[in-house]
Structure 1
Amino acid sequence: MEIVAAGAGVTGPHGTLLEPTSLRASSGELRLVSGPPRSGRTALALLLAGRLRPDSGTVLRNGRRAPAELRGTVAVVDAPGVTEPEGSVELREVVAEGLGIAGRRFGGQAVRDWLAERGLRQQANLRFERVPPHCRTRLLLDLAREARGVEALVLDCPDRHGGEAISWYGAAQEAASQGYAVVALCSPHTAIELDHIPARIGTDNDLPPSPRRTDQPTDSDLSTDSVANVDPGSF
């Protein structure tokens, strides 16, 4: 799968939401994209997923305009105010909703089994806002991949939750290694922290994707210890 945004921009009722941006994302690759706050990061995520129509430029899937196909094959993960789970709900409820949206079984036993596979069954009643940032991102990526037909994942600014960027980046890299086209949006500061030259919002990024780092941890950080030992007051 290949998604190509060519000069894609969005204008809102009060001005520009997203300056024209060009970038390419392909299956099996992780593309890091940076932009400061209010640069239109969520607007770009929704454009790449066919959920928002560009006012300028185009967004193509495999070389053609196909917004309906984008909507069916691109998952927007953790977008503020759009797909971000409510922090006050319990982890089990977040999983149940994610499985239901994905068209999977989402009853109590299905949720318990899903959490158990990730070493999280004992944390089922934990408020989602108390889940550590790296576990949160990995869990939401896993839920997005439960949907049949999803080929691409757009991760919307996981760095806003704090924690070490290398942790969520490792989860995004893992998804790309499984064949998904992955776009991870972040702040310019986070891109520097990751030691990457990212694509940038509001520019023509006619460049190959930044090379993926090979020194990322590959074992899952979703474990009972990683959540159970967290001081709830620290989040």
Structure 2
Amino acid sequence: MIRVTLDGAAVGTGRAAALPPVSASFAPGVPTVVATEGGIRPTVLSLAASGRMKLDAGSVTAVELADDGDGDAHDHVLRPAALRRAIALIDTPLVADHSDEVSIATVVREELALAGVRGSRVELSVDRRDRHPFGSLGGADRLRLLIELALLRPDVAALVITSPERHGGEPALWWRVVRETAARGIAVLVVTDAATLAHLERLPEPEPDTSAASHSPHPAPPASPLAESRTS
């Protein structure tokens, strides 16, 4: 399990900055949502948060959490290469997205190749529609499939999900997938827009969960996971 922290992470300067300074943190238990607007900023933020973008200011660090979860001296900072291996980009435009026209089977094969899994068929609850276009999947099903495939990669302990709202549908459906993933001990950052963030903030709080999440060595913090940081 890891905790990833952005401390004033920025790319470029002034009004034309590709990414104004962002400070946020994501860790297992509760997903973090950051809103940013304009052009390629969601992609730039996702690249920065996963250690894949050179910063002009600030920093991004990932700490592997000790088993006791106390944040003591047993935690240690990951080196840049290990940070990149530990964080998977999910559906990031221009970087890690898939064409809606390709088949679901093609997406699965490509993601399995990234995970180093070959010679086997993996069932991932896509209702046997593997010959259908990837774009035929609803937003929540699409996200769940990409998450499960990414988690097959060695060393992945965190996810950065980019602009899930762009595929339409009710945000509450894919937000449930995100929350369930974080509860499994995965650090999750969602990069979205201000309108979607506001919508998520209005959703009712989920019922208390007494399943695996409540027994996690790193339980969810009491603070709200939403609106930890916004960019302009």
TM-score (norm 1): 0.77
Q: CA deviation at 1:64?
A: 4.2
Shift of 1:36: 2.1
Match of 1:146 among 141, 145, 152: 152
Rounded to whole Å, the distance in 2 between the matches of 1:39 and 1:83 is 14
Do structure 1's residue 137 and structure 2's residue 143 form an aligned pair?
yes
Residue in 1 aligned with 2:111? 98
Match of 2:180 among 156, 163, 174: 174
* Corresponding pairs, count: 195
The letter for the 2-side match of 1:120 is D
The letter for the 2-side match of 1:86 is S
- Determine if contact 2:162/2:190 at 8 Å carries over to the other structure: yes
| Aligned residue number for residue 82 of structure 2 | 69
Q: Is the 8 A contact 2:28 2:183 kept in 1?
A: no
User: Is 2:215 the counterpart of 1:186?
Assistant: no
5+ residue gaps, structure 1, are 204-235
| 1:183-220 deviation per Cα after TM superposition (whole angstroms, max 9, x unaligned) | 011111111211264133338xxxxxxxxxxxxxxxxx
| Aligned-residue offset at 1:119 | 4.8
* 1:128 aligned partner, one-letter code: F
Match of 1:159 among 165, 172, 187: 165
Distance 2:191 2:20 in 1: 15
Cα pair distance change 1:10/1:65, threshold 3 Å:
farther
Cα pair distance change 1:15/1:64, threshold 3 Å:
farther
SS at match of 2:18: strand
RMSD: 2.0
Question: What residue number does 1:84 align with?
Answer: 97
* Separation in structure 2 between the aligned mates of residue 149 and residue 98 of structure 1, nearest angstrom: 15
Whole-angstrom distance in 2 between the partners of 1:155 and 1:183 = 6
* Separation of aligned partners in 2, 1:15 and 1:186: 20
1:118 aligns with 2:128: no
Judge conservation of contact 2:42–2:162 (CA < 8 Å) in 1: yes
Shift of 1:15: 3.9
**C-alpha contact (below 8 Å) 2:7/2:22 kept by paired residues:** yes
Partner Cα separation in structure 1 for residue 77 and residue 183 of structure 2: 25
Q: Which runs of 4+ in 1 moved over 4 A?
A: none
In structure 2, C-alpha distance between the alignment counterparts of 1:39 and 1:202, rounded to whole Å: 13
TM-score for the superposition, normalised by structure 2: 0.78
Aligned to 2:67: none
Unaligned runs of 5+ in 2: 64-75, 203-225
Kindly state the Cα deviation for residue 67 of structure 1 after the two structures are TM-superposed: 1.9
What is the CA–CA distance in structure 2 between the aligned matches of 1:76 and 1:141, rounded to whole Å?
9
Q: State the Cα deviation string for residues 25-84 of structure 1 (Å, max 9, x = none).
A: 112331011122337221111111111111101111117473211111000100011100
Determine the structure 2 residue equivalent to 1:216.
Answer: none
Greater helix proportion: 1
3-state SS in 1 of match to 2:153: coil
